[in-house]
Structure 1
Amino acid sequence: MNFRQLPQVDAVAVPADAFLLDVREDDEWAAGHAEGALHIPIGQVVARFGELTEAVGDDRTVHVVCRVGGRSAQVTQYLIAQGLDAVNVDGGMLAWEAAGRPLVHGPGTRSDAPYVL
């Protein structure tokens, strides 16, 4: 399966109650992320796969997001190969922010308002 064949969804179309997996790095996550998302940086996805499957439960789609869509496409491809129902969030967190979707930031950030790094 190549990236053009991956299931994708626009950020604006992600359901409010969707399971969202954010695969960005710690500093990107801290600057701004979707509330309720699970954060597992791309380099840790394989090692933390059990944690992900436990968190997602049965019969839920994993919406995978990064900054613009490249890293999340790789993770989406991996998750599908492992038998999970996964979809790439097209345009990533930049599209999420542009669509007016809410953001929160982590503790210790220097900015008053969350933003996409």
Structure 2
Amino acid sequence: MSEQPTTTVSEVADDAVIIDVREANEWAAGHAPNAVHIPLGDLPSRLADLPDTDAGTVAVTCRSGGRSSRAVAWLTQQGYDVANLDGGMKAWESAGKPLEGEGTPHVL
């Protein structure tokens, strides 16, 4: 079994397109500016909504990395070029990366 592809916050540009698999309330609290919101449970039915991966590996995120790890495992099996964002949105926020949303960042 091969090791799952991962990426760190420092390797992802502030304006990168990423896949955010958190729930709607988490998304509203704060997300990366160019993230595509597809909750983990909706992923199989929303493959058409995934960003184009021809440009390279796309990071997948959740709150801390657990759900995105499951998403990356499944998406990789489907042939997508994705990597788990190590530490998730908690690491994104801690690194001072930009956030958009309706809530305050500390509720991530």
Q: Please, what TM-score do these two structures have when normalized by structure 2? A: 0.89
2-side partners of 1:61 and 1:80: how far apart?
A: 11
Gaps of 5+ in 2: none
Q: Which of 1 and 2 has greater Rg?
A: 1
Q: Counterpart of 1:58?
A: 54
User: Counterpart amino acid of 2:99?
Assistant: L
User: For 1:78, which of 74, 78, 83 is the aligned residue?
Assistant: 74
SS at match of 2:45: coil
Change beyond 3 A, Cα 1:89–1:39: same
Q: Please, what TM-score do these two structures have when normalized by structure 1? A: 0.83
Q: Counterpart of 1:99?
A: 95
User: For 1:18, which of 5, 11, 16 is the aligned residue?
Assistant: 16
User: Counterpart amino acid of 2:86?
Assistant: D
Q: How many residues matched?
A: 108
User: For 1:47, which of 45, 57, 67 is the aligned residue?
Assistant: 45
User: Counterpart amino acid of 1:64?
Assistant: V
- 1:86 Cα deviation from its structure 2 partner: 0.5
Asked whether the equivalents of residues 14 and 98 of structure 2 are also in contact (C-alpha less than 8 Å), the reply is: no
User: Counterpart amino acid of 2:52?
Assistant: V
SS at match of 1:50: helix
- 1:62 Cα deviation from its structure 2 partner: 1.6
Q: Which whole-Å deviations, capped at 9, do the CAs of 1:25-71 have from their partners, x for residues lacking one?
A: 0000000000010000000000001221xx32524322000000000
Gaps of 5+ in 1: none
Change beyond 3 A, Cα 1:51–1:66: same
2-side partners of 1:96 and 1:17: how far apart?
A: 12
Task: Confirm or deny that 1:6 pairs with 2:4.
Answer: yes
Percentage identity across paired residues of the two chains: 48
